[in-house]
Amino acid sequence: MNAIGWPNWRRLNQEGIVFAIAVLLFAAAALGLPGFLTADNLVAIVRSVSVLGILALGMALVIIGRGIDLSAVAIMAMSVAWYLQLLNTGTSDGLAFAYVLAGVLAIGLLNGFLVAYADVPAIFVTLATGSFVFGYVRSQLITQDAVPVPQGHWVELLGGVRFLDIPVEVFVFAGLAFLVFLFLRYTKWGRFIYFAGDNPVAARNIGIPVRPMLVLRYALSAVVALIAGLLTAASLHSINTRVVNSTLLYDIVLVAVIGGIGLSGGRGGVRNVLVGAALIGILLNAMTIIDIPLLYQNLIKAAILLGAIIVDGIINPRDEQTAQQGDI
C-alpha cells in the first residue's frame, strides 16, 4: 500500500500473474474441452505459437530498448514471397537468398537509422516502411498474393522435419529463445539494450553507443522476421502476403506486452515472451475448439491487449523522457 492507501501496483509481478492464468486456463480446458489433452492437440498448440513467439522475440528486442516495430509482419511475408518468386523464375538459390537477406537488412537498418539519427518516432517509421515493403513487393516483385514453395526445395523439406513427432519450428523457436536469452543476459550489447531502454540519456552520458545499438535492434528484428517467414512457408508450402493485413501484428504485440515486457523500455526478457506465448496459445486453441467465430476471437484478443496495455501503464509508468521521445 502507498501513502494514500492504494495498492502498490508496481510490485506486482505481471509475469507470475499471467503464468498462473495460463495454468488455470490450461486446467479448465483440459477438464472441460474434449480432445484438448490429446497429443496431437498439444503439439498443435505449441506449433501454433512457435512462429508467433519467434516474431515476439524480435519485437521484444525492440520494445526493451524503448521502441516498437510495426513492419515485422510485412518483412516476414514479403521477403519470403520475393524469395520464392525468385526461385520460381529460375534464380539460383544462393543468389535469391542473398538478394532477400540484403533487402531485409536494408529495411531493418533504414528503420533504425530513421529512429536513431533522424529522431522520427518508431511507430511512424515502421508503419511507413511496412506499408512500403508490402506495396512495392506486391506491385513490382511478385505476381500473386500466394507464392508456392518450389517442389523439392529445402524450405519444403524443412516443413516435414520432425523430432519425436514435434515439428521443427518448435525447436527453432526454442533455439532462438535460448540465443536471445544468452544475448540479453550475458553480452555487453544485451545489457546496453536494457540501459538504453531504461534511461537513454544516462546511457549516452556514460559512453554507451545508444544510436548504433538502436540500429542493431531493428536489424535483428528484421532478420528474425525473415526466419519466421521461412518457417511459415515451410509449414504451409507457400506464403500468403495477405497475412500482412491480418491481426498477426497485434498478436505479436499482445504476446510481448501481456507477458510483462514494459512498453516504457528497459524491462522484460525471453521468459516474458514464453509466458505470453503460452497463454495466447492456450487461449486461441480453446476458442477454436469451442468454435467461437473469428470475429469474436479478435474482439476478445483486442480486449486483452487493451487490458494489458492499461496494466503495463500502471506497473511500468512512462517517465518524462519516454513521453518526450514518443517512441511508443
Provide the CATH number for the domain around residue 307: 1.10.3470
Residue 5 falls within a domain, yes or no?
no
| Residue 272 predicted with pLDDT over 80 | yes
Residue 196 falls within a domain, yes or no?
yes
Residue 324 falls within a domain, yes or no?
no
Residue 7 falls within a domain, yes or no?
no
Rounded to the nearest 5 degrees, what angle is found at the Cα of 267, between the Cα atoms of 261 and 272?
A: 40
Residue 246 falls within a domain, yes or no?
yes
Residue 4 falls within a domain, yes or no?
no
| Residue pair 244/134 in contact by the 8 Å Cβ criterion | yes
In total, how many domains does the chain have? 1
**What φ, ψ does residue 114 adopt, rounded to 5°?**
-65, -35
pLDDT band at 5 (very low <50, low <70, confident <90, very high): very low
Could you tell me where the DSSP H helices lie in the chain? 14-32, 39-64, 72-88, 93-116, 122-136, 154-159, 168-186, 188-198, 200-205, 210-236, 248-259, 270-290, 294-315, 320-325
Residue 212 falls within a domain, yes or no?
yes
| Residue 1 predicted with pLDDT over 60 | no
Which residues span the domain enclosing 144?
14-314
Task: Name the β-bridge partners of 84.
Answer: none
4 backbone φψ class: left, alpha, beta (φ>0; ψ -120 to 50): alpha
Q: What is the pTM (predicted TM-score) of this model?
A: 0.86
Average pLDDT over residues 305-310: 80
Q: Name the more confident of 291 and 57.
A: 57
| Residue 160 predicted with pLDDT over 80 | yes
Residue 263 falls within a domain, yes or no?
yes
